[in-house]
Each structure stands twice: as structure tokens, then as C-alpha cells.
Amino acid sequence: MKRKNESGIRETSAVIDAFDATVRQYAHQPKSNAAATILKKIQDVAGHRPSLFGEQDVTRYLQERSRFVQEAAHQYVRAIMSEHFPRMSNALFTLQRRLYLEQQQGSYTVVKDLALLEGKLDADNAQEFVQLNAQLFPYIPLFQGDTQEEVVLGFVEKTKGRRTALYDDTLRQKTWITARFPGLQDKVVKDVAQKAKSTYFSILAEALEHPIIGEVLLSVEIAPQFGAVWIPTLDSLNVHTTEQVIERRVRDPALLLRTQDDHYLVTTWNVGNEEPFEHYLSEFKE
């Protein structure tokens, strides 16, 4: 069953089939001589001596020049890094996928075959299904001690009613989806990460030798971190649900069943002209 894409939300099957192409789509390709162009701008601005005489004008100029040099220094390192590794756009982490959950015996499961939804979402049993927009590419840090086991991809909240012998409750139900990282498959990934880290520090070492760029980099955190992105399969998704009572209405009067000298509480129901008395019922239950 094909559904219309809205706001960049993708169907699961489509994005899994196009994983590599999607990642490449959000990778920035470096411009030719970008690093050299940025370095020349830094040197030109740093060496510029404008004809300013007012104290306020001089102070403002120095502040603006400092901000430009700091940003340009980071752009320079970014340009050199992009020559070795394509820089990813942050838009990759905003992509979402549409999931459907089906309620079964009080809990939800992910619908794996969309054909099962035909004719159900608009029918009387539509309340048995929940539509949820989840993060397409979850991110998880790597090589930092114990790897985080699960990542939250998305959640949805709704209210629903629940009827008991004494109360009519309104519940806030929160349902969220998590995915467990599949793990590193072999030592090759770790070896590649070590080489990438070595390349990064080599680039920094060279940048630190530049008198202007080096001064900027000394005042910032430059330690790299590794992480992984992936598209979890439907079978690997976990569904969690919690419920909280946000409104409680007592139900009255009470229907009693009497046998000899014993009375049994059968049920209560709502009327609008009676004082609450359920606390008495609870107190005198045996």
C-alpha cells in the first residue's frame, strides 16, 4: 500500500532499500581549493589595518575581526577534513519514517505488512491503530565505554477512557519506539575509525602550526567522537507504553445484591444530583 509522503516523512521499505543513496545525498562534497581560499581570507583580515580613530569604532572593528577569524579557522579545518571524509548535513538527522502500531491485548506492536491496514484506518476499529513519526536515522555514540543499548526514535501521546466498578477514568497514554544498536560487525570498523582519528589529529597538528588558526584552536574542545547511524528494521523496533490517570470521576449510585443479611456491590453508575459516597463503599467493604 503506497501512502503520500508529507513533510519529508518516508515509508520504511523505501528508505531501507535506498540507504546508501540517502546517506550520499546528505554528504557535502568539498569545493576545489576551499581551504586555500579560506586561509587567504584569514591572512588578509588579520593583516588589515583600517583608518579608525574613534575608540568605539576601533573596539567594534576588533570584535568583528575576532569573530570572523574564529569562524574562518573552523571553516578551514572543516574544509581540510572534507577532502578526506564527506561532511554530513545535519538535515540527515531530521528525516523521519512513518510507523503504524496495532493494539493487541492492551499493548502495541509494529505493523510489518502495510497491506493489513487496507480499509482499517478509516473504519470503526481505527482506534486500534496508532500512527507515529519516528526518526529515520538514529545516532548512537561509539567507543565510549559501554555503548548505549537503545535509542528513542519517537513517541506519541493520546487520551483514552477506562471504566472500572467505581470510577470513570481519563488516561494519558504515552507510546514510544526504541531501537537497539545492532553492534559492530567486525574489527575492520574499529581499524577504520583509528585511521580516521589519526588523520584528524594530523590535520589539527598542521593547523595548530599556523600562528592565527593555531591560536583559535587552542581555546576550543577538539577531541573527536565517533558515532553510528543506521535504519532499524521493523523487526528490531521495540514498543513501550505507559498510562497515567489525569482525571477520575466517581460512578454512582450503587447497585447492591442482597442475600439474607449480606450485601454485595455489583456496580455503580452516573447521575448528576447526588453527593459522592464512594469513600463509604470502600470503607465498608469486607
Q: What is the pLDDT of residue 169?
A: 82
Q: What is the pLDDT of residues 217-269, one digit of tens each?
A: 887 777 888 988 888 988 889 998 888 888 877 666 777 888 888 878 777 66
Q: Which residues of 37-72 are buried (b: 16+ CB within 10 A; e: fewer)?
A: ebbeebbeeeeeeeeeeeeeeeeeeeeeeeeebbeb
Question: For residues 184 and 190, is the Cβ–Cβ distance under 8 A?
Answer: yes
Identity of the amino acid at 162: R
Instruction: Note whether 136 and 95 are within 8 A (CB).
Output: yes
Bridge partner residues of 132 (DSSP): 99
Residue-level pLDDT at 29: 66
> Which of helix, strand or coil describes residue 198?
helix
> How many helices (H) and strands (E) in the chain?
7, 13
Residues with Cβ within 8 Å of residue 120, at least 6 apart in sequence: 126, 128, 129
Q: Which residues of the chain have pLDDT under 70?
A: 1-17, 19, 28-32, 49-57, 106, 117-127, 145-148, 165-166, 184-186, 250-252, 268-286
Other Cβ atoms within 10 Å of 263 Cβ, number: 13
pLDDT at 158: 79
- C-beta contacts of 50-57 below 8 A and 24+ residues apart: none
pLDDT tens digits, one per residue of 189-224: 888 899 999 999 999 888 888 888 888 888 777 788
Phi, psi of 185 (to 5 degrees): -80, -35
Partners of 134 in beta bridges = 97
pLDDT of residue 1: 41
What Rg value do the Cα atoms of the chain yield, rounded?
Answer: 31
CA distance 158 to 128: 12
Strand spans (E) along the chain: 9-10, 27-28, 87-88, 96-104, 107-110, 129-135, 139-142, 150-163, 167-180, 226-229, 237-250, 254-259, 262-268
Q: If you search the block for the grid coordinates 532499524, which residue do you land on?
A: 232
Please give the Cα distance from 39 to 75 (Å, whole number): 9
